Structure 1
Amino acid sequence: MESPDFTHGSVSVDNGTPAQPSPEDTVQTVIALPIFMFAGGAVGNLIAIIVLSVSRQERKSSAFYTLVCGLAVTDLLGTCLASPLTIANYLDQHVLKDARLCQFHSFLLLFFGVTGLSIICAMAAERYLAICCPYTYQRWGVGRRFAQRFLVFIYASHVLFCCLPMMGMARSELQPSATWCFVDWRTHEPAAAAYSILYGVVSVLLILGTIVLNLAVSGALLLMRQRTVQGPATRASVRQRWRALSSAAETQMMAVLVVTSAVVLACSAPLVVRVFANRFMLNNDPSADLAAIRIASVNPILDPWIYILLRRSLLRRLLSLSRKGGSSQARGCASSPPQRNLFYPDIMRDSHVFTQLMCSANIITQLPAAVKFTQHDAESLQQTSNTAD
């Protein structure tokens, strides 16, 4: 039989005050969020890696998709290494109080934060070279092997950079919420202060570099599109280059790059802002720091679904649009007689580039028949005139 003071949930005790939830219920409620984030990040990145691995061979051999796969692997490793420590600390708050585990947790957050920004910047640089500097792109031999070597360089350099706190340059400490560890960004020690500033400056440079490169690529594509539409019909090289750049694969790459860059920068920027705020403004706001690291933790969950959902929906939409456009153009060319296009070239000049090409092809195929018909008529007329004479 239960005791009179025993309560379940929010049942009131004898004095009328509502009973407080037990510590076990509180822990189960709070730990549900990191478990959900861990499962979402791990499953999503595994699916993304599988989707990327079964892509066509020409896509897998490109530098861009090698970097995308490297970003997915980085997000997966970050989720699988950092999240279990966070979950264990929710179960036992003495886990991160261990100095070595706290340093390791701080290293993970530093490393995977700056590595994600570096890979995104490398993806933007690869697109910039491919579109704006194609000769340099070919001369450097930017491909799958080049991207793999660059990923190894990123990992090696960032491991060394993020190990500096363990080597004594800075000190990692448990944050006031007691759920995560990071470098002591409010210390007055010159070496530790210099490291936190250096980490923030590197992150800001990577963010700015990604934004500038994306803007440069978008501007180059818009300028090329404008020249294609407004330029004279003789500039076939510009039209051909634009058609190559506006293909489904190139459009897919740009869409993945822009959306992934926006997500990564939006998730990483709050933590970078808090680094400078804690260093220069001495703004002690643990709740803002906790919110910044939580926003950064959402990034590995969102990234893989960009590769999974965006690429499939984009290709399907582009295919449907191209089929509709091709059918309408074919109907337009079939309805217009070739003689009208020959004698009224203004109609051809004002129409779309692809419509011009298709109608021109239609005219060329019908020209021999017209020539034969004219010769036959001439011979008939000649025979008629001879007979009449």
Structure 2
Amino acid sequence: MTAKATGCTNASIQVCENKTNAGGNVSVGFPISMMVTGVVGNSLALILVYISYRKKENRRKKSFLLFIGSLALTDLFGQLLTSPVVISVYLADLNWCAIDTTGKLCKYFGVCMTTFGLCSLFLASAMALERAMAITNPHWYSNHMKTSMTKLTLAAIWCLGFLFSLLPIAGIGEYTNQWPGTWCFISTGKSEAPGNVFFAITFAVLGIFSLLVTLSCNVMTIRGLIIRCKTKTGASQSSKQWERLTTETVIQLLGIMCVLIICWSPLLLLLLRMIYSQVSSQECKSTNTTSISIQSKVSNLDCDFFLTAIRLASLNQILDPWVYLLLREILLRKFCIMANAVSNCSVEDQKGSQTALDALNKQNQHGNNICKATSN
């Protein structure tokens, strides 16, 4: 039976033949733990968002909750639709062809990876833009940003991400099995599929553009918060509350930016590099190589880094609910309370030390006066 009849491409057969070499570097525990933590975190975030959405009457807060809930829902479905496939391949001894005899599963996996990856990045950009408008131009935001517009934006993001991921199904671009044979993604090597380079570059450029929009909008929001916080300086309760909320939001935005950069930058930049060099992870750990040359070492190192990069991007689906919602609700408030307690203790200690020192000085002065009176 030929490779075409079984649905496995030459690259897939190469990965299937090399499963033993790659098997020593991977473990089924990794995808299982990622799926469990991702499902738990995003499910908890969805529950909290649903409870808060029913209680909120403010239109601005409802729009933000819709974005948060949509991101958690997107990440949750991304985990549920891809992780079981990865776990099945691990259990099949890294033999993708054993569970994908028609080649359709690889296309399905590639569509899921592309759709949920782009949608997560687009949603992060939309939320950053929404926060920036709410802080820098609150009057325009109050008059124009309605819940219906938020829902239309969410629908547009999901549709655009899904339609773009279907381009290889329509014949533009290609999804191929990637090393170590446990997942499929956009092909970066030489391909006979028309428009493959265009499709791969467009994905990377869209991802980088989304990152830049998110970072720029978050910087604008932080700047706007700090300026408004300075204008509200005072000893009133409202000023202290605004200062606390500003501190929490700034910490949260910094966390969001760090997570996005760490999780997505390696994959997107490496994709551009591999597209330019026409290198694919399908060429990793080839059993046909009889001697290890410098070039093969560099290739293997790139492949290891590429696998790490895709795992970091997948890790973003787990971290999203924590940096956007759970971390703020659970940890940041406790951090601020603890910081205030430490600050208050330091002030009280300083006041106590100063009081004791003043008492000692008065006592010494009183003793000196007694001595002078006695000598006289």
Q: Deviations over 1:51-110 (max 9, x none)?
A: 222237228852112211111111110000000111111122222464110001011111
Q: Give distance in 2, aligned partners of 1:133 and 1:78.
A: 34
1:156 aligns to 2:153 (yes or no)? no
Preserved contact between residue 252 and residue 311 of structure 1 (Cα < 8 Å): no
Question: Which deviates more, 77-86 or 251-260?
Answer: 251-260
- Output the amino acid matched with 2:269: V
Preserved contact between residue 190 and residue 279 of structure 2 (Cα < 8 Å): no
1:101 aligns to 2:98 (yes or no)? no
Q: 1:195 aligns with which of 199, 203, 209?
A: 199
1:135 aligns to 2:139 (yes or no)? yes
TM-score, scaled to structure 1 = 0.67
Instruction: Please show how residues 2-13 of structure 1 align to structure 2 within 5 Å.
Output: none
Q: Give distance in 1, aligned partners of 2:173 and 2:239.
A: 51
Q: Deviations over 1:344-371 (max 9, x none)?
A: xxxxxxxxxxxxxxxxxxxxxxxxxxxx
Q: 1:260 aligns with which of 256, 260, 268?
A: 256
1:292 aligns to 2:309 (yes or no)? yes
1:58 equivalent in structure 2: 56
Instruction: Note closer, same or farther for the CA distance 1:226–1:41 as it changes in structure 2 (3 Å cut).
Output: same
Q: Secondary structure at the match of 1:54?
A: helix
Q: Give distance in 1, aligned partners of 2:195 and 2:33.
A: 38
Q: Secondary structure at the match of 1:55?
A: helix
Equivalent residue pairs, number: 294
Q: 2:217 aligns with which of 213, 219, 222?
A: 213
Question: Which deviates more, 199-208 or 42-51?
Answer: 42-51
Q: Deviations over 1:179-216 (max 9, x none)?
A: 11112112355511111111111111101111111111
1:313 aligns to 2:327 (yes or no)? no
Larger-gyration structure (1/2):
1
Instruction: Note closer, same or farther for the CA distance 1:262–1:222 as it changes in structure 2 (3 Å cut).
Output: same
**Same amino acid, percent of matched pairs:** 27
Preserved contact between residue 125 and residue 213 of structure 2 (Cα < 8 Å): yes
Q: Deviations over 1:282-310 (max 9, x none)?
A: 35532222111111111122222332233
* Unaligned 5+ runs, structure 2: 1-19, 281-301, 345-376
2:35 equivalent in structure 1: 38
Q: Secondary structure at the match of 1:275?
A: helix
1:365 equivalent in structure 2: none
1:281 aligns to 2:298 (yes or no)? no
Preserved contact between residue 224 and residue 242 of structure 1 (Cα < 8 Å): no
Question: Which deviates more, 314-323 or 34-43?
Answer: 314-323
* Unaligned 5+ runs, structure 1: 1-22, 234-238, 327-389
- Output the amino acid matched with 1:207: L
Q: Give distance in 2, aligned partners of 1:323 and 1:33.
A: 40
Instruction: Note closer, same or farther for the CA distance 1:257–1:203 as it changes in structure 2 (3 Å cut).
Output: same
Q: Give distance in 2, aligned partners of 1:149 and 1:319.
A: 39
1:11 equivalent in structure 2: none
Instruction: Note closer, same or farther for the CA distance 1:58–1:225 as it changes in structure 2 (3 Å cut).
Output: same
Higher relative contact order (CA 8 A, sep 6+): 2
Give 1:255 deviation, angstroms: 4.1
2:182 equivalent in structure 1: 179
Instruction: Please show how residues 73-92 of structure 1 align to structure 2 within 5 Å.
Output: 73-92=73-92
Q: Give distance in 1, aligned partners of 2:174 and 2:121.
A: 23
Give 1:154 deviation, angstroms: 0.6
Preserved contact between residue 129 and residue 217 of structure 2 (Cα < 8 Å): yes
Give 1:322 deviation, angstroms: 7.7
Cα RMSD for the two superposed structures: 3.3
Instruction: Note closer, same or farther for the CA distance 1:228–1:51 as it changes in structure 2 (3 Å cut).
Output: closer
Q: 1:120 aligns with which of 119, 124, 146?
A: 124
Q: Give distance in 1, aligned partners of 2:186 and 2:316.
A: 21
Q: Deviations over 1:292-332 (max 9, x none)?
A: 11111111222223322332232345567789999xxxxxx
Preserved contact between residue 197 and residue 279 of structure 1 (Cα < 8 Å): yes
Question: Which deviates more, 304-313 or 54-63?
Answer: 54-63
Q: Give distance in 2, aligned partners of 1:320 and 1:187.
A: 56
Instruction: Note closer, same or farther for the CA distance 1:117–1:309 as it changes in structure 2 (3 Å cut).
Output: same
Preserved contact between residue 188 and residue 278 of structure 2 (Cα < 8 Å): no
Q: Deviations over 1:1-33 (max 9, x none)?
A: xxxxxxxxxxxxxxxxxxxxxx9xx79x82122
Q: Give distance in 2, aligned partners of 1:215 and 1:289.
A: 29
Preserved contact between residue 114 and residue 161 of structure 2 (Cα < 8 Å): no
Instruction: Please show how residues 306-345 of structure 1 align to structure 2 within 5 Å.
Output: 306=323, 307-318=325-336
